[in-house]
Structure 1
Amino acid sequence: MCHCINKLVLVIVNIVFLLAGAAIVGVSIWVIVSADSMFKLVHLATQGSDNINNETLMSYKSSTSTLVAAAYVILVFGALSFLIGFCGCCGAIRESSCLLSIYAGAVSIVLIVEIAGGIAAGVFRAQIGTEMLPTLKRLEATRYLPINLAVSNDSNPNAVFSSLVNYAQVSMSCCGVSSMSDITGVNTLWTNSSRQYNGKTIVVPVTCCKMNKKDELLSHQNWTRIDDYLIDRNCPYNASSSQINKEGCYDKLNSYIDRYTLAIIVVGILVGMFEIICVVMACSMVQKIRSERQNV
């Protein structure tokens, strides 16, 4: 009876494994194709402003962000989880001690990797909390360019940083790190640069203005045509416009990170519990199968 229960539970749990593997593959593909610029900005902010120079900024122009690189690894892991789940189902149904032994070993390895990944994610999240705010404030004050200069020379290191900030501000409907004054303050690079856009001087960063069809703009990142997406085309020239995003990006970015961090932690704990149960039951079934064969 116990043997049958183990078999049934293993089959059910491994169907969950198959679905989890498919879900992980889907999420990884989403990360790879969607929010690379956002992840690059988060990663850059953890470097510490003293460690960021022109060469560092240029490396973010064409490189894949650390989180997106990790998504490729997780994509492989998701596919592996799918195969492990299939192996576990087949091993349980056919009562194959060989397949179940391979399955138990593979799940144990995956569990160890998940624990290591969880620790690394915790360290990364703590690093973001302590370093992101001062680093982003200093970078915005000294590196962020008006849209006319950012789009005219994308080989400029400051333009690379500006494009990452522009992506974040449009994506999250925010402005500046804490507020627009982080960009428009008296001593910032933005304020002391030429701000001629469409023949007029802008007084509001263009990406701080509310947009239509944000997804389309973020997908193409065609900043030279950004005025086509403005709800109010006069917004960049009017500091009193009602179409300016007032909220700072730091709190929104933190909420964005925390939302997914919490989901990952909860799912990780649940999956880890499933994996421990799977290993115990698989080992129990292997022992039972071998014992029955020895008694034949």
Structure 2
Amino acid sequence: MGVEGGMKCVKFLLFFFNFIFWLCGLALIVLGILVQVAIHNTFMIQDVSASVAPLVIIIVGIVIFFIAFFGCCGAWKENHCMVTTFAILLFLLILVEIAAAIAGYHFRGRITEVVQNSLTEMITRYNNSTDEFRKAVDNLQKDLTCCGANSSSDWRNFMPDGNSVPDSCCVNITAKCGVGAMLIPSKVHQEGCHTAMELLLKENIMWVIVAVVVIAVLQILGIVFSCLLMRGIRSGYEVM
């Protein structure tokens, strides 16, 4: 057969592609989980739109994980129906990923508003919330070396004296180091968490968008290989 060698090459390329595709699916699941945890556990952001992109990425990753195995079987067995179904599923996934990228980009444009609202809510709820919630807020301020939403003055209702902040705001954290030290730069961080948190969130969302674009490009290659193999199978060439 004149084209047997070429079709064999396409077959093994498709098989190799699906192995890489399987790894990408696993990577998407991990990335989506990490971003979701970063957004909701570390930052405790309650805005629903923040979950759209990472949740879609997790779902797509799971679907990719199983479709890749399906594609490997189709390529190896040279089954026209399986390869065709694989190509169609890839195309549908690309549409879903485009939607996820748009959702992520849309949320990225709203980060300033979402971060401000979330930080304000954290400060308001701090005194009357659970120990776990307060610990999360404290860890946020420690990790980002910041205090309050826009400045340490955001904690003016923290204690009756109007001049105290949580100990997690302190430059050198010790017991009750924030009492009466709200406006003392040598003792308390004066910068709010808004800027640092916004930057970190934008980086996380950007990683999601980059991952979606990379996977979509690989999927397009998969569709091309699938179409070539389908053409070879349909034409009656035997690909061993």
Return the alpha-carbon distance in structure 2 between the equivalents of residues 32 and 132 of structure 1: 15
Who is 1:150 aligned against?
A: 128
- Which amino acid is the alignment partner of residue 123 of structure 2? Y
Who is 1:114 aligned against?
A: 97
Contact 2:163–2:179 (8 Å) recurs in 1: yes
Is 1:292 equivalent to 2:233 in the alignment? no
Contact 1:144–1:162 (8 Å) recurs in 2: no
- Which amino acid is the alignment partner of residue 29 of structure 2? V
Per-residue CA distance 1:211-258 (angstroms, 9 max, x = gap): xxxxxxxxxxxxxxxxxxx83224112524755334321111121112
Contact 2:151–2:192 (8 Å) recurs in 1: yes
Alignment of 1:6-155 (within 5 A): 6-31=10-35, 36-38=40-42, 40-41=44-45, 43=47, 67-68=50-51, 71-129=54-112, 131-132=113-114, 135=117, 139=120, 144-145=123-124, 149-151=127-129
Per-residue CA distance 1:257-292 (angstroms, 9 max, x = gap): 122223222222221111111112101211210111
Q: 2:196 aligns with which of 247, 252, 255?
A: 252
Is 1:207 equivalent to 2:190 in the alignment? no
Who is 1:53 aligned against?
A: none
Contact 1:174–1:247 (8 Å) recurs in 2: yes
Unmatched runs of 5 consecutive residues or more in structure 2 = none
How many residue pairs match? The answer is 232
Shift of 1:78: 1.5
Return the alpha-carbon distance in structure 2 between the equivalents of residues 81 and 9 of structure 1: 18
Who is 1:187 aligned against?
A: none
Who is 2:160 aligned against?
A: 194
Q: Evaluate the alpha carbon distance shift between residue 38 and residue 6 of structure 1 in structure 2; reply closer, same or farther with a 3 A threshold.
A: same
Per-residue CA distance 1:27-84 (angstroms, 9 max, x = gap): 34445666524454362xxxxxxxxxxxxxxxxxxxxx55457645543322210111
Return the alpha-carbon distance in structure 2 between the equivalents of residues 145 and 16 of structure 1: 47
Return the alpha-carbon distance in structure 1 between the equivalents of residues 177 and 43 of structure 2: 28
Shift of 1:208: 1.6
Matched residues, percent identical? 28
Q: 2:177 aligns with which of 208, 219, 235?
A: 235
TM-score (norm 1): 0.65
Q: Evaluate the alpha carbon distance shift between residue 244 and residue 101 of structure 1 in structure 2; reply closer, same or farther with a 3 A threshold.
A: same
TM-score (norm 2): 0.78
Unmatched runs of 5 consecutive residues or more in structure 1 = 44-64, 185-189, 196-200, 211-229
Return the alpha-carbon distance in structure 1 between the equivalents of residues 106 and 124 of structure 2: 32
